[in-house]
Amino acid sequence: MNHNLLENITAVEISTVIVEEIVDEMFIPWEVYQAIYYLSRSCLESTVDCSLRNHYLQLRRQLELAYCLLLVDPSSPLYNRRLVTEIKRDLPILSQSARWETIPSRLPEPIPSNRHQTMSAVNKLLGDRSFINILQQLHQRKTILDRRDRILRNSNFRQDITGTPYAQTSLQLDGKIINRYSQAILERSDRALLLQLHERSTATGEQQWRGLIEFVLSLIGRR
Amino acid sequence: MNERLGSTNEILNSCIKIESIKISRQLAIPHQVYFCLNSDILDQIEIEQSHHKLTLSSDKLADLRYYILLNIPLNKTTSSLSYQRSPITFSTNYLFSNKQQPTTVVRSVINLESGKITQQIQQDLWQNRQLLSKIISAHYWLIYQIIEQLPLESSKIDSRLICACSLAVAVTTFATLWYFFPLNYLATVVIALGVFFGWIIWNKSWFNKQLKSWIIHHLIDGCLAKNVRRRKIALRILSFMIH
C-alpha cells in the first residue's frame, strides 16, 4: 500500500469560530457548484456590494482554472488529451485576474440547457475527489464573502463575529506562523477573551494534529 | 481508592460515545465522537484532569482507532470505497439543568486531508464564561486522553514472542530438511544460510509489509471491518507487527 498521506499539506491551519448553533454541516456539491458556476458580472451587479464583486468573480475564475488544470493532468480521471494544447494556450489568461472572462467556459452546465444533453458530465465532474476538495474550499470562501456582504449592507452586523472564523493561525512547514483576525473583533470589548480562547484552540489543535499523525505513523510503522 | 478511580474511569468511558451511520444492511461505520456531559461529570473531570489519566476500555479504543483509520486519506481512492471520508469530529453535548435535551456546545473538526482544524463554540456557551472555561477544558482534556492512547504500542514481550516463534519455525524447517535428506557439509551450510536469510526477510520486510497492507486494507473496507471483535484482533496483530 502506498501512502500519499500529507503529500499536499504544507501547513496546519487552526480556526476558532463562534456559532449560533452547532449543526452537522451539509455540503451538497451540486448546489455549491451551481451557485459558483452562475456567478457573473451582470448577476452580481444587482445582488452584492460593489466592493465584493471582484472577490466573487475570483471564485468563478478559480473554479474554471481548477477544472482546466484537471483536464490537462494525465493522472486525473478527467484528463482530455484533445484539449491539452487549447487549454495550455488559455492557462496564462485564466491565471490572470483580468481578462479571463473573455474565454468561453469549459465547465459543464449544472443543468444542461439542451434537452438532449444529460447530467453525466456534471455527475462525472462532481464524482472527482480533487475537484470536490477545491469546490469545498471555494464554498468556504463564498460563505465568508456572503457574510461580509451581509455586514456591509447592514450596519447592525458590524460587530457580529458568529458564523465565520474570527481568528485563524496557520503553522507552515517552512516555520512561518501566520495569524489572521477578523476586523470585527477589534471593536469588541471582549477581544482579550476571544484571543485567549483562540490561543488555547491553537495549542490544543496542534496537539490534536500531532497525536493523530503519531497514530497514523504507528499504523504504517514508521515511527 | 482504587475502586473510586475505577468507577470514575467507567463513568468517563461511558460518556464518550461514537455515533454510527448505517451504510449498508450489515455495516454501520462510525461517523463522529461525542462526549455527553452534565455538571456532575464536569466536576469529576475537573478533579481527574490534574491527578489522573483516563484509561479507555479496549472496545472503545478499538472503535476509536477504527473511526480514525476510516478517515485517514490513504492511497485508496474514495470512489472505490463504500463510504465517503469525512473530517474527524469530536463534539461535546452538554445537558443544561434547565433543558431536557443536551445541546452541542463545542466541536473540534480535524481534516486530515487538508490540514485544517476548526474549533467551534456555541454562542450561548460563550455568554456563560464560567461554564465555558469548564466545558472547554473538559472537551480538550477528553480529546487529549483519546489521542494519547490511539498510537499502536508494541510491547517488547509481544515482539520478542513473534520473533522467537518465527525463528522456531525456521529452525524446525532446517532440522526437518536435514533429517529427511542426507546432505553433505556444503549443502547443509547453504541451506542453513538460506533458511536464516529467508527468516530475516520474512520477519523484517516483505511479508511484514504485505500483511500490514492487507490488514489495513480489510480494516478500512473489508472482512475485518464487520464487527468490534474482528477490528480488535486486526489492530492487535498490527501492534504485534511494530518492531
Looking at residue B82, its pLDDT comes to 59
Cell numbers that stand for A178 in this block? 501566520
Determine which helix (DSSP H) or strand (DSSP E) holds A213, and give its type and residue range: helix A191-220
Domain boundaries, given as residue ranges, for chain B:
2-149, 156-240
Residue A12 has pLDDT above 50, yes or no: yes
Residue A15 has pLDDT above 90, yes or no: yes
How far apart, in whole angstroms, are the C-alpha atoms of residue B108 and residue A204?
10
How far apart, in whole angstroms, are the C-alpha atoms of residue B163 and residue B170?
11
A98-112, B98-112, B172-186, B191-205 — most confident range? B98-112
Query: Which among B31, B118, B209 is the top mutation candidate for probing chain A, defined by the most A β-carbons within 10 Å of its own β-carbon?
Result: B118
A189 reaches B (C-beta below 8 A): no
Nearest residue of chain B to residue A206 (CA atoms): B117
Report chain A's mean pLDDT, rounded to a whole number: 86
Inter-chain touch A215–B150, beta carbons under 8 Å: yes
How far apart, in whole angstroms, are the C-alpha atoms of residue A220 and residue A1?
9
List the single range of A87-96, A172-181, B155-164, B206-215 with lowest mean pLDDT: B155-164
Residue B212 pairs with which residues in a beta bridge?
none
Residue B39 has pLDDT above 70, yes or no: yes
DSSP assignment of chain B: -HHHHHHHHHHHHHTEEEEEEESSSS-EEEEEEEEEE-HHHHHHHHHHHHH--PPPPHHHHHHHHHHHHHTS--SS-GGGSSS----EEEEEEE--TT-SS-EEEEEEEEETTTTEEEEEEEHHHHH-HHHHHHHHHHHHHHHHHHHHH-S----HHHHHHHHHHHHHHHHHHHHHHHHHS---HHHHHHHHHHHHHHHHHHHHSHHHHHHHHHHHHHHHHSGGGSSHHHHHHHHHHHHHT--
| % of chain A surpassing 90 pLDDT | 35
Chain B residues closer than 8 Å to A200 by CB:
136, 140
Q: How many CA atoms lie within 13 A of B91 on its CB side?
A: 20
Q: What 3-state DSSP class applies to A96?
A: coil
Residue A2 has pLDDT above 50, yes or no: no
Handedness of CA B139, B142, B146, B147 (dihedral sign): positive
Looking at residue B78, its pLDDT comes to 47
Greater confidence (A15 vs A115) lies with A15
How far apart, in whole angstroms, are the C-alpha atoms of residue A181 and residue A191?
11
Contacts of A70 (CB under 8 A, 6+ apart): A76, A78, A79, A128, A130, A131
Convert the pLDDT of each residue in B187-242 to its tens digit. Answer: 777 877 877 777 776 666 666 777 777 787 777 766 777 677 777 788 877 777 66
Residue A10 has pLDDT above 90, yes or no: no
Angle at which helix B129-149 crosses helix B39-51, to 10 degrees, equals: 60
Chain A residues closer than 8 Å to B112 by CB:
5, 212, 216
| % of chain B surpassing 90 pLDDT | 30
A196 reaches B (C-beta below 8 A): no
Inter-chain touch B212–A220, beta carbons under 8 Å: yes
Looking at residue A155, its pLDDT comes to 67
Nearest residue of chain A to residue B84 (CA atoms): A129
Looking at residue A62, its pLDDT comes to 93
Domain boundaries, given as residue ranges, for chain A:
1-18+161-223, 25-160
Inter-chain touch B77–A129, beta carbons under 8 Å: yes
A212 reaches B (C-beta below 8 A): yes
Report chain B's mean pLDDT, rounded to a whole number: 81
